[in-house]
Structure 1
Amino acid sequence: MNASEHTPADLLRSALAADPARPLVTFYDDATGERVELSVATFANWVAKTANLLQDDLSAGPGDRLALLLPAHWQTAVWLLACASVGVTAEIGGDPADADVVVSGPDTLDAARACGGERVALALRPLGGRFPEPPAGFADYAVEVPSHGDRFVPYAPVDPAGIALRVADGDGGTELTAGALVGRAVADAERRGLGPGARLLSGLGYDTWEGLSAGLYAPLAAGGSVVLCRNLDKLSAEDLAQRTASERVTHRAE
């Protein structure tokens, strides 16, 4: 962490300046066999497009609340950094009825319909594919996001003291400002022994701070990368050992 890193979006900008070609997020879904690897530059491109969608099409801005009803997935990581880029509060496990925007996967559409604001749905198909039939009342992320720009500039500067993340986890909930999120991610990276070039394999969900930190924020803060595994319990011990070797994993969180 350096003196200019006050928000999660700052962490991404630093990673982009340091080495845009290195891997940042490698995603596996062991229920489908999907593997996606995103370099820092590719991930930042998705974040910029999504932030432009959020700011321009969904009219979201600092202080607005976004209920994020998505599992641990590379596209969820994109939305988390897009929210941070705009200054929108990402709420994990939050009530869609209280949110200004809801972003839902295919399994949570009924719950997401409680949101009276803008609704976006993700099919979570391989390669970011769209829904075969768009769900009624939702914008299909895969249809809407490609037309947006590859560079993002917020209409208003993001305040490090603004609430960036709320997680309705079993510990009574976690609420972090953008600045506190960065500080906690840096501390977690140090606790895990992560440094530049570290590869952290995480099979944790995104429904707790621990999972979010291991699966995105701590590797990003350390100048490392994450091998994010969904449905890791479907993998045999032998296959997990093979993945650990082939992906050059240096640390694990399961």
Structure 2
Amino acid sequence: MRFVVIVLLVVLFGAVKLPAELALSATHRRLHFRAVEFDPGLREQIGQLGFVAALSGFRALVADVLFVQAHMAWERTEWGRVLFLFRQVTTLQPRALLFWDMAAWHMAWNASAAALRDPAQPRLALRIKAQREYIQLGKDFLERGIRNNPDRPQLYEALARLYRDKDKDHEHAAEFFEKAADLPDAPSYARRFAAYEISYCEGREREAYDRLHTLYSAGEKERLPTLIRRLKDLEIKLDIPLDQRIANPVP
């Protein structure tokens, strides 16, 4: 009899708990929240302190402490420690855009520049290799950040800038500026920057011209020096008739 009562209580508790769990899961999916998985590799990935935080519900507090430590490691140019700490921080707080953005910036800009100037490495080829590896680490942070925050434009824009400034990859830069522009709260310049990048892509000159001309026709606020210069270049390259060219002089 006692066993039957226990079974009934367990079933009743499960029935009461199930709607709340389903609602919570639906909210997580709607917010694109990727929960921390407590698998055996998590402790190794984020360290003992981070693992305890993940178990105890103090992820945000510990992530902030680790973020400060990462900043201190950056000031000492301890790039390996910066990487280690930002991996912990972003694992603990995957919805915090600042952490992904800062991690990528430190790797792709700061660490990569330091690697290229490393006085301890006399071989240029190895310095360039290290530089490229740090840039790739920055790219990886942004790609994982986007997977955790697919509804936010900031990391798409950051990845577009990385492709543009570090890889000179105009195709991918245009792609991610465009993805940023398609999201709510995107910066007003994202669509224009996508068109700029397309204008440098071989074979897409006509598309770029049409996009830039549409922006130009939208009004004075869009007629910025870079847009006018790119339009002028494309007018020549596409042999646009003189009477169809914009009147503005080259800035």
More strand by share: 1
TM-score, structure 2 normalization:
0.24
Q: Which has the higher contact order (CA 8 A, sep 6+)?
A: 1
TM-score, structure 1 normalization:
0.23
